[in-house]
């Protein structure tokens, strides 16, 4: 990324990336040795463009990118500002979305009671716990709310031919500033 995050929206997204990369469970999920390697697996607003200018990623490209996370500002009510009593000052609350995605092999099965399903539930739960543990620590965001908005679940059967067998979780994260 050549443009450095600096505004109230982009900087908040970047700081959520930094917090997620600090989570040991996320680093283990993506095989990252440290926070810098984990940051490479956390994308702003979407995945990098497909190779060779293609319209969509191939399954092999998606599998090479996974596991990954995408951080973006909520499409509705992404930022709320409220004036303070003192002139020109305000409080802000930013609503971010965090999508976590991983590949799963067909051999592990996709039944609700499969080991892969329980592992994904455990992983997502640990990431949420670790984000809360960072709450308001020096250098990290101050979370007001973390909600599991979707999942943890499997990608739909219709998506499998184009995207492969994946598990997804989507969090909404409300940040106070």
What pLDDT does 113 receive?
Answer: 67
- Cα four-point dihedral sign 4, 139, 149, 108: positive
Note the pTM of the prediction, 2 decimals: 0.89
What pLDDT does 80 receive?
Answer: 76
Residue given tokens 């810098």 in the structure block:
36
Q: Where are the alpha helices (DSSP H) in the chain?
A: 8-21, 24-29, 35-39, 59-65, 115-134, 160-163
Tell me the C-alpha distance between 119 and 113, whole Å.
10
What pLDDT does 141 receive?
Answer: 84
Pair of tokens at residue 114:
């499969």
The domains of the chain are located at 8-176
State how far the alpha carbon of 92 is from the alpha carbons of 10, 60, 100, 137, 153, in Å. Answer: 14, 41, 25, 18, 32
Strand partners, 97: 72, 172
What pLDDT does 17 receive?
Answer: 95
- Cα four-point dihedral sign 130, 134, 139, 142: positive
Domain 8-176: give its CATH code.
Answer: 3.30.2000
Residues in the chain: 177
What pLDDT does 147 receive?
Answer: 94
Residue given tokens 């909600």 in the structure block:
147
Pair of tokens at residue 82:
């409220």
Tell me the C-alpha distance between 175 and 143, whole Å.
5
Tell me if 42 sits within 8 A of 21, measured CB to CB. yes
pLDDT of the chain, 177 residues: tens digit per residue: 578 887 778 888 999 999 999 999 999 999 999 999 999 999 999 999 998 888 889 989 999 999 999 999 888 777 776 777 777 777 778 899 999 999 887 655 556 667 888 888 999 999 999 999 998 677 788 899 999 999 888 777 788 777 888 889 999 999 987
What pLDDT does 106 receive?
Answer: 64
Other CB atoms within a 10 A radius of the CB of residue 38 amount to 24
The string of DSSP codes covering 110-162 is -STTSHHHHHHHHHHHHHHHHHHHHTT-TTS-EEEEEEEEEEEEEPPTTTHHH
What pLDDT does 81 receive?
Answer: 65
What pLDDT does 157 receive?
Answer: 75
């Amino acid at each position: 990324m050549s443009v450095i995050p600096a505004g109230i929206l982009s900087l908040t997204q970047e700081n959520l990336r930094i917090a997620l990369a600090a989570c040991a469970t996320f680093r283990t999920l993506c095989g990252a040795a440290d926070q810098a390697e984990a940051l490479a697996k956390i994308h702003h607003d979407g995945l990098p463009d497909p190779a060779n200018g293609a319209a969509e990623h191939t399954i092999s490209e998606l599998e090479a990118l996974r596991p990954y996370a995408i951080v973006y500002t909520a499409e509705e009510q992404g930022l709320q500002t409220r004036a303070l009593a003192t002139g020109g000052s305000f409080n802000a609350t930013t609503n971010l979305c965090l999508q976590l995605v991983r590949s799963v092999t067909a051999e592990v099965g996709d039944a609700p009671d499969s080991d892969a399903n329980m592992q994904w539930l455990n992983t997502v739960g640990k990431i949420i716990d670790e984000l809360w543990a960072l709450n308001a620590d020096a250098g990290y965001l101050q979370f007001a709310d973390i909600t599991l908005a979707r999942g943890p679940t499997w990608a739909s059967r219709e998506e499998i031919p184009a995207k492969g067998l994946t598990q997804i979780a989507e969090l909404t994260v409300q940040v106070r500033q």
